[in-house]
Amino acid sequence: MRQVKNIVLFALLSTATACSDSFLSLSPTDTLVEDKFFANISDAEAALVGVYGSLQKEEAFSNVRDAADIEWAISGDMYEMDRSANRIELHSLVFPATNTILRDVYTAAYIGIGRANMVISKVSVMNDVDEKSKSKIIAQAKFIRALFYYRLVTYFGGVPLIDAPLDASSNLQIPRAKAEDIWAFLEKDLQEAKESLPIKWDSKDEGRVTSGACRALLGKAFLWQKKYPEVILVTEELFDEKRYKLLDDYRSVFMESNENNDEILFSTQFKEGVDAEGNNLVKRTAPRGASKEFTGGDAWSNFVPDKHWVNAHEKDSNAQIKDKRYWATIIGPGEKHQNMPAFVMPTDVPAGWSHSGFIMTKYWQKPTPTFSGVNAPVIRFAEVLLNYAEALNEEGRGDDAIEEVNKIRTRAGLDDLSNGLAKDKVLDAIFQERRMEFIWEPTGGFSDLNRSGRFLEFIAAERPNYDELNVDQKPWLSTKPIVFPIPRDAWDRNKALNQNDYYSF
């Protein structure tokens, strides 16, 4: 897809790239200045492209820095093959303020927030344009702003709350807001946005934010804050839309040929090619050294499922994994690729291919010579069901919660769980399904374990290298929830920032 180039609105909005699907196809525009740009709805849509484009960065919502480096490698169910220093810091639970991954995630969030603020501010005061079109553009920007603030508050706690464009005359020494103020702000954004957005867009606009995506993210925000009745209410509003459902086939949810399907409430849009519209998910998945006949180009196998996660799958009486999710997205020694059966993992897997002997194929679906066009899932209906189940269980409705869990298990080919389980057993069942359902997605790993206070207990039981982590010598792991340090780079630019407990700049 083409890029929107040289939109000189502000540093945070300039050189914005377009997202990949047809609704964001725009012809390149000449250099424009801010006071002449927001003149009509086409200008506003062009600026909205830059807001969506902020999601495509690896540091944002591409399932690399977030889902792989942070969520699933910190929980220990995925292994990072490169063993670079910045990744080792995170996976060994050191979390220094100088960690470049945390720095980049923090910075990318404010880039996205800055772009959203500009669109919200400028479009709100546009004259002589259709009010419904204006409202939809503003609502989409508010969702994306809320999505970035959700990431910031769950990773770092309270952060500077910036709700308007900044320029050279602005005071950039901005102290941190309280976490509860960030939550209230993003809740307001989502409550307003869901009222202006459609349940479903026309096919040419697939991939845009919907009212259901707003409700799903609002439910996640309520769940983090333990507002369980609110989770139930907003989720049942989402059910009433009758828009989303579980697909019958787990693998089909992620296929590039089946993008924006009925299970995806929101995903980051990508397009295969040589420009900035693609991602590196195939390169980071396929085994390094494998034939280009199957990879198409470079293959790095950066992230692989660790063996203890594989062993956590339910098995039949012959000790064979019976969970269909494994067979849909994982290959191990001697196993065939799901879409390219001519590719068979060696019985003796080379160490350079995979530390564990296993490769994930959730995103590696075909040879990809350049950048991948597979979309990165952000919120799926399966998560909505498990979030709902967790809230039901907390409200004393354990049997209703198990009914939702069993919907996930049925698709996975697993037996139903029985009613009458104790509350803690229901919660265990919910988290087991999160673990097996969402591997290498931005949910189900560290953050879900962290918000529920289960992270330390989980790694003590599940991470084989737990004794090497020296958890007792890392006091930042005792905070509830665990937060990452405010990055040193952010403090260098904004001395009004104070640091989280047990960290230093």
In the numeric block, the tokens 């904004």 are attached to 494
Q: What is the dihedral of CA 56, 145, 7, 54, to 10 degrees?
A: -10
In the numeric block, the tokens 């920032």 are attached to 497
Residue 260 has φ and ψ, to the nearest 5°, of 55, 40
Q: What is the DSSP pairing of strand 264-268 with strand 376-380?
A: antiparallel
Q: What is the mean pLDDT of the chain?
A: 93
**More confident site: 191 or 24:** 191
Q: What is the average pLDDT across 179-198?
A: 98
Query: Is 498 part of a structural domain of the chain?
Result: no
pLDDT of residue 9: 40
pLDDT of residue 274: 77
Amino acid at 371: F
* pLDDT, tens digit, 9 for 90 and up, residues 349-382: 999 999 999 999 999 999 999 999 999 999 999 9
Based on the number of CB atoms within 10 Å of its own CB, is 489 exposed (0-12), middle (13-18) or buried (19 or more)?
Answer: middle
Q: Do residues 393 and 425 make contact, with C-beta atoms less than 8 angstroms apart?
A: no
Query: Is 242 part of a structural domain of the chain?
Result: no
pLDDT of residue 129: 87
* pLDDT, tens digit, 9 for 90 and up, residues 205-240: 999 999 999 999 999 999 999 999 999 999 999 999
DSSP assignment of 4-27 equals P--EES-TTTTTPPP-SSGGG---
Percent of the chain with pLDDT over 90: 89
DSSP code of residue 95: -
Residue 390 CB coordination number (10 Å) = 23
Greatest alpha-carbon span in the chain: 70
Structure tokens, 257: 């040929």
In the numeric block, the tokens 């670079």 are attached to 84
Query: Is 217 part of a structural domain of the chain?
Result: no
pLDDT of residue 18: 40
Percent of the chain with pLDDT over 70: 93
CB under 8 A, 24+ apart: contacts of 392-396: 392/232, 393/423, 393/426, 393/427, 393/430, 394/226, 394/228, 395/228, 395/229, 395/232, 396/423
Three-state SS at 303: strand
Query: Is 208 part of a structural domain of the chain?
Result: no
Query: Is 393 part of a structural domain of the chain?
Result: no
Strand partners, 268: 376
Name the pLDDT band for 169 (thresholds 50, 70, 90): confident
Residue 2, pLDDT > 70, answer no
**More confident site: 13 or 174:** 174
Query: Is 42 part of a structural domain of the chain?
Result: yes
In the numeric block, the tokens 């169910």 are attached to 77
pLDDT of residue 24: 37
Three-state SS at 308: helix
Residue ranges making up the domain that contains 36: 1-173+440-470
Name the pLDDT band for 168 (thresholds 50, 70, 90): confident
Q: What b/e sequence results for 290-314 when a residue is b if at least 16 CB atoms lie within 10 Å of its CB, and e otherwise?
A: beeebbbeebbbbbbbbbebbeebe
Rounded Cα distance, 127 and 118, in Å: 16
Q: Name, in order, each residue with C-beta under 8 angstroms of 58's C-beta and a sequence gap of 6 or more.
A: 64, 65, 104, 279, 280
Q: Structurally, how many domains does the chain consist of?
A: 1
Q: What's the whole-model pTM score?
A: 0.94
Residue 450, pLDDT > 70, answer yes
Residue 172, pLDDT > 60, answer yes
Residue 107, pLDDT > 70, answer yes
Q: Do residues 97 and 25 make contact, with C-beta atoms less than 8 angstroms apart?
A: no
Give the CATH number for residue 126. Answer: 1.25.40
pLDDT of residue 3: 31
**Backbone torsion region of residue 304, taken as left when φ is above 0, otherwise alpha when ψ lies between -120 and 50, otherwise beta:** beta
For residue 51, give the nearest of 268, 249, 236 by alpha carbon: 268
Residue 330 has φ and ψ, to the nearest 5°, of -130, 145
* pLDDT, tens digit, 9 for 90 and up, residues 267-325: 999 999 877 789 999 999 999 999 999 999 999 999 999 999 999 999 999 999 999 99
* pLDDT, tens digit, 9 for 90 and up, residues 383-421: 999 999 999 999 999 999 999 999 999 999 999 999 999
Amino acid at 348: D
Name the pLDDT band for 459 (thresholds 50, 70, 90): very high
Query: Is 20 part of a structural domain of the chain?
Result: yes
Strand partners, 273: 371
* pLDDT, tens digit, 9 for 90 and up, residues 12-56: 343 334 443 443 333 333 334 555 688 899 999 999 999 999 999
Query: Is 87 part of a structural domain of the chain?
Result: yes
Rounded Cα distance, 263 and 243, in Å: 9
In 40-157, alpha helices (H) = 41-53, 73-75, 85-91, 100-124, 131-156
